[in-house]
A and B are shown apart, each in its own frame.
Chain A
Amino acid sequence: MGRIIPTAVSVFCFLGVALFTSAALAAPLNGHVILAGSSTIQPVAEAFGLAFEKQHADVRIDVHGGGSSVGITAPQTGLADIGMVSRPLRHNETRQLTFTTFALDGIALIAHASNPVGGLSKRQVIDLYTGTATNWNMLGGADAQVVLVNKEAGRGTRTLFEQYFDLAEQVVSSALIIGPNGQAILTIAGNPQAIAYVSIGAAEVSIRRGLPIKILALDGVSATQTKVQNGTYGLLRPLSFVTAQPAQGLAKAFLDFVLTPTGQRLVMQHDFVPAYSQIAQH
């Protein structure tokens, strides 16, 4: 009797483990993945989620907004499985988190379609955003006051913009602060003197939809998706998914899916530049 119980227990354990592993090997993926963070990534992440759910019927992908800071903190606090971050990661963040860059987002300066200025040099942009140039006639345009549009301190696009033009401490404080791309584009469309910087993809979509804005060339290089992809246009930011530990199981399957050709096609449909070719280049 004394021997039977341990034997029985070990048999059950063995059976249990065997069953569990076989189930894990054979069963289709199921469960819940929660994504949260950057609102720029939100639409494309939703598209990833829908496509992934189509492939795996028992999987649920939930995508939430909140901004890049939520994208950094949510995986650490366990509120989300994957964070979405649309800015370059800082040093201490790369140490704590694992990140997968799945797309690039070029940033373009835009102005009203009626503005005669077609392009700016790097120097002129710096003059604009440090307050040296305040009238369009200093930049080859008509005699009209420049209405400068900037983004919130800390927003991915602004961080990148300041790094690229080396503006850091001298940015003028009198600029209007209009963060989201959609709203900045609407502002430019309604204001012939204004200038702003937004995602190239968002600007192109809006131009196709008939809004009176135009994309300005930078140092003679026109800002297009192709130029971003082949590396000629340098003002761009990475869009990344972030996990607290290296992703496992369902989260890993999802991140793998994002980098497949199917996933990267979705990236293109949302007017971002696939990171695929970029990874191959570097």
Chain B
Amino acid sequence: MPEAISQPAALFPSTGIQAQPAWREACVAGALWSVALCIVGLFAWMLGDLMLRGMHELSFDFLLLPPEDAGRAGGISTILVGTLALLGVALGTALPIGLGSALLLAEGTRTDTPFGRFVRRSLDVLAGVPSIIFGLFGLAFFGQFLGWGWSILSGGMTLACMILPLFVRTSEQSFRAVPLTLRQGAAALGLSKWAQLWHLSLPCAAPGITAGLILSIGRALAETAALLFTAGAAMRMPESVFDSARALSYHIYLLAIEVPGGQDRAYASALVLVGLLLLINAGAVLLTRQFKHRLVQL
């Protein structure tokens, strides 16, 4: 956790034997602060702009009513449900497979075995596949070959393929970061691999995994091109995973680009998406805390 690392400075206050002049330190700190300020400022500008353009369309009705007139009237309730369902399928698939792969890459195999290298390189390449290609592949494989058509299942699986590399890489990093001493301790105690995984690796790596998860969720929620051909565009309330559902980002895209006079609603929907993301982030952080408690209890 970030707090843990800022402490050394406090624990070991400057002793006065600095080899570097203080002004250089100040310059670096100033530069870093200004970069951070710029980024936060840019974000504030963008969010402010979104709010300026979309806020007046936002209301409880907007969240609770189904869309009408191609989204120019009504709300986005069915689209929110569809989006969450898509996200559920995507995470339900990518989370176990991703964690499994990350664990294998981090602990279960030597980095230089052909299999380990193959998996790692495949994932690196997968990370570079443009989302539109995922969409076309999803249409051909999940939609046509497996016969799922335009559905939440097709779309969710396509998203899962897409977020997999990002999630695996970030999780792998966090598993590798589990302190060596703890691992050696576990091995010395003769803990089974399961026990070590459950009591040591997962809790220790939880913050990093959460960061990866949040990035993946963000990526999945923001995705349009991969869903165009897989999840479809139905605005009806989905009844099963075999129904088509329109994702919020795709709805934003259609409103912004295809529906004349839909821009304000597009901005309002974008605000909702950002809000949703905030909620999910908060939830993930809470979950991480719970998980870290287990480590303390061990």
Contacts and interface: CB of A to CB of B under 8 A. Distances in A.
A31 to B, nearest CB: 14
A186 interface: yes
B149 A182 contact: no
Given A34-B149, A66-B229, A181 B234 contact: no
Given A43-B70, A77-B144, A64 B233 contact: yes
Among A46, A47, A180, A205, the one with the most B-chain Cβ atoms within 10 Å of its Cβ is A46
* For the complex of A and B, 8 pairs with smallest distance between CB atoms: A43-B70, A202-B260, A205-B260, A64-B232, A180-B257, A62-B234, A182-B257, A209-B261
Interface in A63-80: 63-66, 70, 77, 79
A208 B232 CA distance: 31
A156 interface: no
Contact of A47 (B70, B144, B257, B261): B70
Contacts of A40: 258
A62 B232 contact: yes
Interface of B is mostly: loop
**Is the interface on chain B under 10, 10 to 19, 20 to 34, or 35 or more residues?**
20 to 34
15 contacts: A36-B232, A39-B258, A46-B235, A50-B68, A60-B236, A62-B234, A64-B244, A70-B229, A79-B149, A180-B258, A181-B258, A182-B256, A201-B260, A203-B260, A270-B70
Contacts of A132: none
B228 A65 contact: yes
Interface of A: 34, 36, 39-40, 42-44, 46-47, 50, 60, 62-66, 70, 77, 79, 180-183, 185-186, 201-203, 205-206, 208-209, 270-271
B254 A65 contact: yes
Contacts of B257: 180, 182-183
B258 A42 contact: yes
A169 B232 CA distance: 36
A153 to B, nearest CB: 17
B143 interface: yes
Contacts of A270: 70
A206 B260 contact: yes
B144 A39 contact: no
A90 B150 CA distance: 27
Q: In this complex, which of A64, A185, A201, A205 has the most chain B Cβ atoms within 10 angstroms of its Cβ?
A: A64
Nearest to A270: B70
Contacts of A77: 144
Contacts of A62: 150, 232, 234, 236, 244
Given A65-B233, A79-B143, A186 B263 contact: yes
B3 interface: no
B116 interface: no
Interface string B230-241: 001111100000
B150 A182 contact: no
A44 B260 CA distance: 12
Nearest to A209: B261
B43 to A, nearest CB: 23
A42 B256 contact: no
Given A42-B70, A42-B258, A43-B258, 9 more contacts: A62-B236, A62-B244, A64-B232, A66-B228, A70-B229, A180-B258, A181-B258, A181-B260, A203-B260
Contact of A64 (B144, B150, B236, B263): B150
B144 A79 contact: yes
Interface in B89-138: none
A69 to B, nearest CB: 11
Contacts of B50: none
Contacts of A206: 260-261
B88 interface: no
Interface string B205-239: 00000000000000000000000110011111000
Contacts of A60: 236
A281 B258 CA distance: 31
Contacts of A65: 228, 233, 254
A185 B260 CA distance: 9
B197 interface: no
Contacts of B233: 42, 63-65
Contacts of A209: 260-261
Contacts of B228: 65-66
Interface centre among A63, A182, A208 (most CB of B within 10 A): A182
Contacts of B261: 205-206, 208-209
Contacts of B144: 77, 79
Nearest to A39: B258
